[in-house]
Amino acid sequence: MFSCSNDKEETFNKEDYQIVKEEPGGEEEEEEEEEEEETGETTKTVDGIKYGADFVLFEPEVTKSDLGLWVKRTPTDSKYYVGSGIEAINKGYLEFTGNNLNGGSAKSPIEFKFTCPKDGKYRMVMRMYQPLLDGEAGDKRNDVWVKLTGDYTTACVYPTEELKKNHKFWGRGVRKWGSAHNLEGHVDGVKKLNKVVYNLKKDEEYTFTISGRAQGCSLDYILFYDESLGLSVAIHDDIAATLPELYRPDIID
């Protein structure tokens, strides 16, 4: 039996849960291609979505959905986060302003459609920031709701049909850019905080939906990558800093 709770988030305790990590490894649309010097890999950006041979990524601002309670933060905004490391890519990100710091029901869904570049097991992660106020705990303002629809099967502990429904996706970016990297749910009555991985099919179109959950949770970009790449994402990791630059959105002039 699988379920996902809307209750107030519990404090993360590594002794209570096991975090599973992977081992090290349109004609009418304007297309833009570039050659990556270090890897020799050709990437293509279509309608704001960047495709590589074995990954897909995009900034949340490219959605065609109404933003609703999501707000785009830019340098002209007093609440824009600059930070001391790698700034938000293209100096913009989306922040959810509904619900409260602990979470709430799914609101203001934003959709993204993409086509899978090749068959593979794709893990999904996000670059995420928690704009915590003084005295607020590190497990607040750190999650969203996610679901993926299309022709695929699960490649993780969660059943396929459950991955097509809204479930809490969380991480850590405590007053800095970090990552959202694990999905929360129950499998056979046992709470799981595990990575989410999908068996995707080449040339199939998928719709990925993010809905606001915790007020303040901020997203810079979303990455789906084939696990055969051997990339590693752990709690607190800023994926812009820990993963190769290839796996960041292109800079728009």
Task: Tell me the per-residue pLDDT of 33-47, one tens digit each, with 9 for 90 and over.
Answer: 444 444 568 999 999
Neighbours of 62 (CB within 10 A): 16
* Residue the block writes with tokens 């090290």: 24
Residue 119 maps to a domain: yes
- Span 8-25, average pLDDT: 43
Percent share of the chain, pLDDT over 70 = 84
Domain carrying residue 66: 51-247
Instruction: Read off the pLDDT band of 60 (50, 70, 90).
Output: very high
- Predicted confidence at residue 143, as pLDDT, reads 98
Give the model's pLDDT for residue 39.
Answer: 52
Q: Which pLDDT value is given to residue 41?
A: 81
Task: Give the tens place of pLDDT for each residue, 115-154.
Answer: 999 999 999 999 999 999 999 999 999 999 999 999 999 9
What φ, ψ does residue 242 adopt, rounded to 5°? -90, -20
For residues 76-99, average pLDDT: 97
pLDDT over 90 at 91, yes or no? yes
Looking at residue 189, what is its pLDDT?
83
Give the whole-number percent of the chain exceeding pLDDT 90: 80
Q: What is the mean pLDDT of residues 203-218?
A: 98
Residue 7: inside a domain: no
Contact 114, 58 (CB under 8 A): yes
Confidence band of 253 (pLDDT split at 50, 70, 90): confident
Q: What is the DSSP letter of 197?
A: E
- Judged against a pLDDT cut of 70, whether residue 226 lies above it is answered with yes
Q: Please say if the pLDDT value at position 73 is more than 70.
A: yes
The reply to whether 227 falls in a domain is yes
Q: Is residue 132 part of a domain?
A: yes
Q: 248 by DSSP, 3-state: which?
A: coil
14 lies in a domain?
A: no
C-beta separation of 61 from 72 below 8 A: yes
- What's this model's pTM, rounded to 2 decimal places? 0.85
Does any domain span residue 141?
A: yes
Does the pLDDT value for residue 235 go beyond 70? yes
Task: Say how many domains are in the chain.
Answer: 1
What long-range pairs does 11-18 form, CB within 8 A, spacing at least 24?
Answer: 11/137, 11/139, 12/139, 12/193, 12/235, 17/191, 17/192, 17/193, 18/193
Look at residue 71 and tell me if it is in a domain: yes
| CA 147 – CA 210 distance, rounded (Å) | 7
Q: What is the mean pLDDT of residues 155-183?
A: 97
Say if residue 154 is exposed, middle or buried (CB neighbours under 10 Å; 0-12, 13-18, 19+): middle
CATH classification at residue 122: 2.60.120.260
Give me the residues paired with residue 34 across strands: 43
Residue 40 pLDDT: 64
